Amino acid sequence: MNDPKRWLRLKTVHERVFELPLEEARAFVERELGDDPALARELISILEQRTEGTRFLRFDDAPHRSTEFPFHHRLGDYELMHVIGRGGMGCVYLARHLPLDRDVALKVLGPNLAQAPEQVDRFRREALRLARFKHPGIVPIYDVQSIDGVHFFAMELVDGLDLHRELVCLRGKLDPKVCRTTLPSEQGPEYFRRVADITRQAAEALADAHQQRITHRDIKPHNLILGRDGRLRIVDFGIARDESLGRSRVTDEAAGTPHYMSPEQARLTRNRVVDHRTDIYSLGVVLYELLTLRRPFEGDTQRDVLRAIELREARPARLVNPEIPRDLAVICQRAMEKEPTARYPDARELAADLARFLAGEPIHATAPTSGARMLRVLRRRRTALAACGVAIAALAAGYGLRGEVFADPNFRTVAFSFEPGLGEPAPLRASWIPFDPVEERFDPPTELGQPPYAQRRLKLGPGLVRLEYPAGAVSEHWRVVSAGRGTLALRLPRPRIAVAERGSRPPEGMVLIPGGTLRRKSDISGSGCSNLGKDLAVDPFYLDVREVTVGDVREYLRETGGSAPENWEIVGADPKLDDHPVVGMPYSFMVEFAEYYGKRLPTHAELEWAARGEEDRNTPNGRAVTPDTRAAIHGRAPGAELSPAARFELWRTETRPVGQSPDDVTPAGVFDLLGNVRESTISAFVNTAASDAGPKVLPGLLWQVGGAWYSDVPASGFDIHGFYGVDEGGGAERGFRCAKSARP
């Protein structure tokens, strides 16, 4: 079989039926693959062979890429069957160890890294660490080899799902038909006991690693695999610190995954010193997410997330979900204490408290009193509190504290701070430009003056901080003034600005889109773009002529040294795809990427106006979309429902290099607005039918605009729209491009 789509379709259907009795599986296959009898017969043949001892799916002619080995390729005594995972270091294959006739997971160092001695050394160190472990909760290693310059090691093959996939299924973000979860589907006493038990298993495994003087440093749901036998295994010790080797510096380099970093890992200074207690904190975050089905700290950018981890207290788990047992919430809270000394002293103590909870015995951890919690906040915010004390005294003297507490709840005091880069000029002036999510346009600016900026009383909601520099350079920073008490601090990180004289040509790689009036649809249930039912004015703006590519993100990570975003290990694995649109990026990363270049994400109205123009085009050139043109623009949607992994596989072949489609370019020269990938915006969904009180803005649900390679809709042109959640991981069909206001 040399057709990638048919092969992926075969594999996807097999994943859904391989555990069913043969007769049920045969009926399912005949129903799902009825339009392709040859494919159905092939899969039924494979399923029938299963009864003769075949333990895994064999695709003898499966298509492959040059960066991966062909299936059934031999590496010494190992026969590679198919890829089961990818990471920053390479691929993990399902392989058959021929001498012992058993399946293993074979981790193979990527060919691009195999040329770097330091990467080979790091890869072998990971194998040596794994070889030292004897605990059943850490995946054992069987073999380490190098053959013809290919470096690999063999591990136990765990039959199960990682906790990230479990959480995605529990949140209902995948079709239940493709979710083979091990955890109970409904939260209740059984669910919480299972969560406590798997966290206990993880803590016991970490205790063994810490006894070996190894700190994992990247505990997260992706690295915790829950087998069908109920046992939890920890994987990926690639960035682990081996304390037995000593420390070359007094501080640690930044390492880990932002949402699961401990406060000592998340510090934005170089003063990072971590030990085994960072793993205890990260495991506490995993426990919190399993209990509440949400992460304890979120933010518009990775920097915001790290600042929240360092300075904010997580919302108590029982306030998020009152059904959580009190003792389990207390255990979680102690594991997530900001100060390492306040956490469990070691992972074995954490495991012991979880065992006491499971046995119905009193736990040793106690919930902190409100006074103790306040003291911890005071210690972390000494400098800020000193300034606040002066401010509070002034308020009390001027008009009394009561006046501030009971001020207009639709406004909040905001303090802006700018972090200039070395050798870069400070901004000459700054302004705050509110964004009206109902009208989908930016309101007149409020001048903030020159740095240092005075505190301002601003209306709640989103907007732009616009910074103007010498020689006409401008950067924009998307921020949200959120509700709450006290002063809201909004930090503005250093942007990388391409200087452009005011009134001259647009910034490099962008085109000026003149303003106008966007004529909107009123049918909220159809495929039209809006539920507002009115025309909207669009101000002039700049828009990237092409979508952000894999190569753009690779360059951004290289320049900034930032943490790799979710799904980067998948989409960034093959540099040959650097000219394809990047997909799978979370909302916070897209906002941060745009901000680094002084830009922002476009609004919904801006993207659609750029696509339609004054002519109200429904296609880039205004002509009808023929089947052939649609195939060139959107690709051909697969005929079967695919898993997220299978979608990423098809993204590699179905998307095209950006900026190259003669059928998908507007008169202004903007490419791929109709196809390739759906594009993200900063516009929230507005529900006009929510109540008689007026439109209701849903800030957690954002518009995405345009068709994509995966679009399975009629050829309706620019009417294709959808939504995505702010807290969702990125999908394989959603990308983005950047915009910038064009103000005098």
Give the position of tokens 């290099």.
657
CATH number at residue 708: 3.90.1580.10
The distance in angstroms from the start CA to the end CA of the chain is 59
Identify residue 448 by its one-letter amino acid code: L
For residue 89, the 8-state DSSP code is: T
Residue 459 lies in a domain: yes
The pLDDT value given to residue 198 = 96
The pLDDT value given to residue 744 = 57
* Whether 289 and 174 share a structural domain: yes
* Whether 488 and 539 share a structural domain: no
Expressed in percent and rounded to 5, the helix, strand and coil fractions of the chain are: 35, 20, 45
The pLDDT value given to residue 308 = 87
* Whether 83 and 214 share a structural domain: no
* Whether 203 and 345 share a structural domain: yes
The pLDDT value given to residue 623 = 75
Give the position of tokens 């773009």.
529
Give the residue ranges of the chain where pLDDT is below 50: 1-2, 50-67, 247-254, 268-271, 369-372, 374-375, 377-406, 422, 498-503, 522-532, 690-691, 714-715
Other Cβ atoms less than 10 A from the Cβ of 39: the count is: 22
* Whether 239 and 291 share a structural domain: yes
* Whether 590 and 469 share a structural domain: no
Closest by CA to 238, choosing from 359, 92, 372, is: 92
Residue 674 lies in a domain: yes
Closest by CA to 105, choosing from 122, 90, 118, is: 90
Closest by CA to 254, choosing from 2, 543, 562, is: 562
Residue 502 lies in a domain: no
Q: Which H or E run contains 492?
A: strand 488-492
Closest by CA to 156, choosing from 73, 227, 58, 55, is: 227
Write a three-state SS string for 424-446: CCCCCEEEEEEEECCCCEECCCE
Residue 711: domain span: 510-741
* Whether 518 and 476 share a structural domain: no
Q: How far apart are CA 713 and CA 527, in angstroms?
A: 10
Total domains in the chain come to 4
Closest by CA to 724, choosing from 691, 665, 683, is: 683
Tokens, residue 357: 């909870």
Residue 399 lies in a domain: no
Residue 382 lies in a domain: no
Please give the angle made by the CA atoms of 730, 732 and 735, to the nearest 5 degrees.
Answer: 65
Tokens, residue 297: 């700290």
- Number of Cα atoms under 13 Å in the Cβ half of residue 514: 5
* Whether 552 and 633 share a structural domain: yes
Of the residues 107, 126, 156, the one at which a domain ends: 156
Other Cβ atoms less than 10 A from the Cβ of 190: the count is: 11
Residue 121 C-alpha from the chain's centroid:
29
Tokens, residue 187: 């939260």
Of the residues 343, 363, 383, the one at which a domain ends: 363
Q: How far apart are CA 603 and CA 440, in angstroms?
A: 7
Closest by CA to 17, choosing from 165, 228, 168, 178, is: 178
Reported as a single tens digit per residue, the pLDDT across 258-307 is 889 999 888 744 445 688 999 999 999 999 999 999 999 987 666 778 88
Q: How far apart are CA 449 and CA 427, in angstroms?
A: 10
The pLDDT value given to residue 630 = 62
Please give the angle made by the CA atoms of 212, 270 and 375, to the nearest 5 degrees.
Answer: 85
Q: 440's torsion region: left (phi>0), alpha (psi -120 to 50) or beta?
A: left
Residue 395 lies in a domain: no
Q: How far apart are CA 216 and CA 238, in angstroms?
A: 8
E strands, 122-246, where? 141-147, 150-156, 160-162, 214-215, 224-227, 232-234, 241-242
* Whether 593 and 731 share a structural domain: yes
Q: How far apart are CA 426 and CA 721, in angstroms?
A: 40
Cα dihedral value 611, 615, 617, 621, nearest 10: -90
Residue 178 C-alpha from the chain's centroid:
21
* Whether 49 and 145 share a structural domain: yes
Residue 497 lies in a domain: no
Identify residue 196 by its one-letter amino acid code: A
- Number of Cα atoms under 13 Å in the Cβ half of residue 362: 3
Distances (CA, A) of 287 to 60, 190, 199, 264: 42, 15, 7, 19
Residue 389 lies in a domain: no
DSSP track, 685-731: EEETTS-TT--EEEEEEEEEES--TT--S-S-GGG-EEEEETTSPPP
For residue 322, the 8-state DSSP code is: T
Give the position of tokens 């955890």.
183
* Whether 136 and 203 share a structural domain: no
Tokens, residue 490: 């909004």
Please give the angle made by the CA atoms of 327, 331 and 336, to the nearest 5 degrees.
Answer: 145
Residues sharing a CB contact under 8 Å with residue 48, sequence separation 6 or more, in sequence order: 22
Distances (CA, A) of 5 to 637, 642, 646, 648: 10, 11, 10, 12
DSSP track, 192-204: HHHHHHHHHHHHH
CATH number at residue 454: 2.60.40.2190
Tokens, residue 317: 């788990």
Of the residues 156, 173, 195, the one at which a domain ends: 156
Q: How far apart are CA 435 and CA 446, in angstroms?
A: 12
Identify residue 224 by its one-letter amino acid code: L
The pLDDT value given to residue 688 = 63
Closest by CA to 724, choosing from 586, 568, 551, is: 586
Q: How far apart are CA 712 and CA 492, in angstroms?
A: 40
Q: How far apart are CA 333 and CA 328, in angstroms?
A: 9
Asked if residues 480 and 462 have their Cβ atoms less than 8 Å apart, the reply is yes
Distances (CA, A) of 504 to 431, 464, 471, 473, 501: 22, 22, 11, 11, 6
Report if pTM > 0.85: no
* Whether 212 and 275 share a structural domain: yes
Closest by CA to 651, choosing from 663, 660, 643, 661, is: 643
Helices and strands per DSSP (H, E), number in the chain: 21, 28
Tokens, residue 124: 């072998």
CATH number at residue 342: 1.10.510.10
